[in-house]
Structure 1
Amino acid sequence: MIRRLTVTLSLFFCGLAAAETIPSHHAARTLEIYRNIVEVDTSKTRGNTLPVARYLASELLAAGLPEEDVEVLDIEGYGALVARYRGDGSAGKPPILLLGHLDVVEALPEDWERPPFTLTEDEHYFYARGSIDNKFGVAQLTSTFIRFRQEGFVPTRDLILAFSGDEESGMRTTRHLAYERPDLREAEFALNSDAGGGEMTAAGVPVIYRVQAAEKTYATWEMTTTNPGGHSSRPRLDNAIYDLADAIKKIQGHRFPVRWSEMTLAYFKETGEMIGGELGETMIAFSRDPTDTDASDRLFREPSFVGSTRTTCVVTMLHAGHAENALPQSATATVNCRIFPGVPASDVEQVLRQVVANESVQFNLLQEPTESPISATRDDVMAAVARSVHQRYPGLKLLPYMESGGTDGMHYRRAGVPTWAISGIFMNPDEVFAHGLNERVPKAAFYGALDHWSTVLKTLAGRAE
């Protein structure tokens, strides 16, 4: 399933204004790793994260990492990778943990314009499932470790890769790494490749660089209605599917109350000033007065920003009936919620029950939600990230933010390891199709990120120049 690729030098320079600054060997290796792991379907139904973990381990071992420092784990059939790049200890500081995940969400080939598990390209983009989430980060981090070995770089503290294998589903591997590995919890902090990054306008103008410092709580319920059923030729006035449909429409029409923190208000103020226009003015108005209903209602219509204003719940899956000629005996909808920090999941379930207003509708919480704290930013981490960002876009503002989605970072924060997500990607948020159809990443973003992790880690774990 893993194959190698010979890449011509001209490909590396596509979309770059300063191609001569890119180490061609590093670019080739990064693209080779990226292609190899993207072209393996690592969705939860395939069980292919183990081969990918083994492949990445083989690349690290070939680069010179000792066998005792590269570990492939099989956790309930999901593969994970832990690799330690040893420093000389001169900093007298604990290790830095580096996070990513090997799995992807499912992609149906018949729905895509291109084959989802073949890395295809045009003049401007790479296309594939996982091209952003999160094999972009995994490839960039792995190739950075290989680059360090080739350069003979010796950090002043240990650097540890921790790649999980089921971040998109049960997070079994994530929980194991975060809670059952004291060697990982000893890290001073973690840097996550699975979120954060630079936002650009449609014209390619950088707006801001976002550092993820908090995440909403991820919780999923199954909402089920039942009925005696019967023959379809003898319809009943009550029907499990109709009852479920009524409940779904009520959830669709409900808006959870607006919530905010100092971080989210600062985020809207800074982002609004950068974006400008009607939307930017709305963000600024919200930052000044989050009780301004005109502003919050306007932001409610923006998929990229609504999650930073309130808890959200949305129906994502349906299952109903057992035969085409029989009345349904049960119908189930999956309701996925992203809960504002500080709000217990039990409170959200109570609201959902009140909104549905039908005691016969059953709610089943699929797994215990993980509530995680905000990681207050550190000057040394922000300075290291700023150094990388400003090498590409001088003077660009960095801004901490709360993630609407969920990543491995929530578990490390809960385990006591402060975590910030600092992806090297820069792109227009309207083009981020992760989890959706035709996921893609700009070539300029891929090649522009080649030095990102090297700069950040050498700043944090290198000798002062």
Structure 2
Amino acid sequence: MRIIHRTIALSFAVSAAMIPVGASAQALRPDQQAFFGLYKELIETNTTLSSGSCTQAAAQIGARLKAAGFADSDITTFSVPDHPKDGGIVAVLAGSDKKAKPMLLLGHLDVVEAKREDWVRDPFKLVEEDGYYYARGTVDDKAMAAVWADSLIRFKTSGYKPKRTIKLALTCGEETTFAFNGAQWLAANKPDLIAAEFALNEGGGGRYDPSGKPQLLAIQVGEKAAQNYTFETVNPGGHSSQPTPDNAIYELADALQAVRTYEFPIKFTDTTRAFFGATAAAMPGPVGDAINRLLANPEDKAADALISRDKAMHSTLRTTCVATLVNAGHAENALPQRATANVNCRIFPGETVEATFAKLKELAGPKVKVTINQPIRPTAIPPSLDPKIVGPAKAIAAKYFPGLPMLPLMSTGATDGIFFQAIGIPVYGAPGIFVDADLNGIHGLNERIRTRSLYEGRDYLYDLVKAYAG
């Protein structure tokens, strides 16, 4: 998960109606028990890059789909010879209206690495404690992957006949930039298999306040593109007892300082304009006033300075680049012969990898070599605020989460949805699954999800898919 739920962990307060926390968890319904079995199996199947297998997880999902009545022709499992454990699955539930374009449910099976010695509990054993499920992937992204697979199973076993064909794609490689990526492979090699009018993905969700009350909902409409660049400077070096200003580390440091102090220009999409407009209305006073001034004039430096004190708002306004890795020198008593740094950029929708590269070269200066790292991500294409997408999401939220506002958000991170956007499939991050303000250990230690969030989110997303499918 590159942006899933991170976008909703904003460090500013948004005025929101509150609804009370429900009673303690009740005994699971029979349909919830079946879902829990699928979810538990998926959680306890290690799908890390280092030692896990997405291919195994995909096969397990496939077996459950077949048991529910899906034919072999409805299911495609895939992998490539040089990455046999990084496979995925596509399943299709045919619609009754051949004129209605399909919809796609997208999720990823892989998870971030988790070391047992660092965790309080075994990260690959699902444990329930104090109203939470603990394990790696409980949120990112096996909650959504399990809900999507479970929804297709429920549709099939209940005899539901959607008007619109529903496709499911569960892939591997989302959590890395250097390994085989199933979403990218499908977009490049099987575009007809996953062709759809739109896709639902991670990236949206909801947020609880510190007391556990639902605070707001978010639907992700657009995301940035993640791209890495390498800065490198070389020098003959020499003995450290005779230093000169011509120093590889200093030259690299100067280039990184230039990146640090440069602000990319402010841009707006329809989504971010709507988001900031709603935020300004909810935050009267200096911040709200500054937002309105910036919406009217993106070059208002004073307004930018005030709003950008909040790191989430700052990143939502523009492309950002930051140094994340540095390696320099070869001996403690020698002048450095080489110094390198990784600069990680999150590129605003519509802006290109090449244009960002040109700006970084300008900032780095002639003594520092800048290169674009592989893989090169596609240009982020912002989806529209389509009423046919946003409307049902809000309407069903009013049933499950009455009184909560739903904000359209652009993720400042990136997901695998960018590969499908590049072939003309707009991708939306579906709301419904709530996280706490601390992000529930996603990508970190002791990842967890409230049991209430999982089961309410499952019901919401099931009804949402049905609403879109007709």
Asked if structure 1 preserves the Cα contact closer than 8 Å seen for 2:167 and 2:194, the reply is no
More divergent stretch after superposition (446-455 vs 298-307): 298-307
Asked if structure 2 preserves the Cα contact closer than 8 Å seen for 1:223 and 1:363, the reply is yes
Residues 397, 457 of structure 1: alpha-carbon distance in 2 compared, 3 angstrom cutoff: same
How far the C-alpha of 1:191 sits from its partner, in A, is: 1.5
Question: What is the aligned-residue RMSD (CA, Å)?
Answer: 3.1
Residues 291, 246 of structure 1: alpha-carbon distance in 2 compared, 3 angstrom cutoff: closer
Question: Separation in 2 of the partners of 1:394 and 1:37?
Answer: 31
Structure 1 counterpart of 2:419: 411
Structure 2 counterpart of 1:80: 88
Structure 2 counterpart of 1:71: 76
5+ long unaligned stretches in structure 1: 1-14
Question: Separation in 2 of the partners of 1:107 and 1:327?
Answer: 38
How far the C-alpha of 1:161 sits from its partner, in A, is: 0.5
SS at match of 1:401: strand
Residues 201, 415 of structure 1: alpha-carbon distance in 2 compared, 3 angstrom cutoff: same
More divergent stretch after superposition (446-455 vs 391-400): 391-400
Structure 1 counterpart of 2:196: 187
2:460 maps to a residue whose letter is H
5+ long unaligned stretches in structure 2: 1-20
Per-residue Cα deviation, 1:250-270 (whole angstroms, up to 9, x for no partner): 323332222223431210121
Which of 233, 238, 252 matches 1:244? 252
2:34 maps to a residue whose letter is R
Question: Separation in 1 of the partners of 2:183 and 2:346?
Answer: 19
Per-residue Cα deviation, 1:130-177 (whole angstroms, up to 9, x for no partner): 232211210111122222233222222321101121122246321221
Question: Separation in 2 of the partners of 1:143 and 1:106?
Answer: 25
How far the C-alpha of 1:274 sits from its partner, in A, is: 4.0
Structure 2 counterpart of 1:28: 33
2:190 maps to a residue whose letter is R
Mapped pair 1:255 → 2:260: no
SS at match of 1:42: coil
2:186 maps to a residue whose letter is L
Which of 34, 37, 48 matches 2:53? 48
Structure 2 counterpart of 1:156: 163
Q: How does 1:12-411 map to 2 (within 5 A)?
A: 16-17=22-23, 24-46=29-51, 48-75=53-80, 76-77=82-83, 78-87=86-95, 89-90=96-97, 92-112=99-119, 114-170=121-177, 172-192=181-201, 194-229=202-237, 236-237=243-244, 239-274=247-282, 283=291, 286-287=294-295, 289-321=297-329, 328-411=336-419
Residues 440, 18 of structure 1: alpha-carbon distance in 2 compared, 3 angstrom cutoff: closer
1:56 maps to a residue whose letter is I
- Superposition TM-score, scaled by structure 2 size: 0.83
Which of 463, 466, 469 matches 1:458? 466
SS at match of 2:51: coil
How far the C-alpha of 1:98 sits from its partner, in A, is: 0.7
How far the C-alpha of 1:50 sits from its partner, in A, is: 1.2
How far the C-alpha of 1:330 sits from its partner, in A, is: 3.0
Residues 432, 278 of structure 1: alpha-carbon distance in 2 compared, 3 angstrom cutoff: farther
Residues 365, 397 of structure 1: alpha-carbon distance in 2 compared, 3 angstrom cutoff: same
- Superposition TM-score, scaled by structure 1 size: 0.84
Asked if structure 2 preserves the Cα contact closer than 8 Å seen for 1:124 and 1:443, the reply is yes
Structure 2 counterpart of 1:3: none
Per-residue Cα deviation, 1:327-359 (whole angstroms, up to 9, x for no partner): 654333221111112222222222222323352
SS at match of 2:192: helix
Asked if structure 2 preserves the Cα contact closer than 8 Å seen for 1:26 and 1:143, the reply is no
Residues 128, 268 of structure 1: alpha-carbon distance in 2 compared, 3 angstrom cutoff: farther
Residues 377, 362 of structure 1: alpha-carbon distance in 2 compared, 3 angstrom cutoff: closer
Question: Separation in 2 of the partners of 1:126 and 1:280?
Answer: 38
How far the C-alpha of 1:100 sits from its partner, in A, is: 0.7
**% identity of equivalent residues:** 35
Asked if structure 2 preserves the Cα contact closer than 8 Å seen for 1:296 and 1:309, the reply is no
Per-residue Cα deviation, 1:344-399 (whole angstroms, up to 9, x for no partner): 22222222223233523443432323113222233332232223311212243433
Question: Separation in 2 of the partners of 1:80 and 1:209?
Answer: 30
How far the C-alpha of 1:410 sits from its partner, in A, is: 1.4
Question: Separation in 2 of the partners of 1:400 and 1:198?
Answer: 12
Asked if structure 2 preserves the Cα contact closer than 8 Å seen for 1:33 and 1:139, the reply is yes
Question: Separation in 2 of the partners of 1:28 and 1:322?
Answer: 58
Asked if structure 2 preserves the Cα contact closer than 8 Å seen for 1:312 and 1:337, the reply is yes
Asked if structure 1 preserves the Cα contact closer than 8 Å seen for 2:229 and 2:370, the reply is no
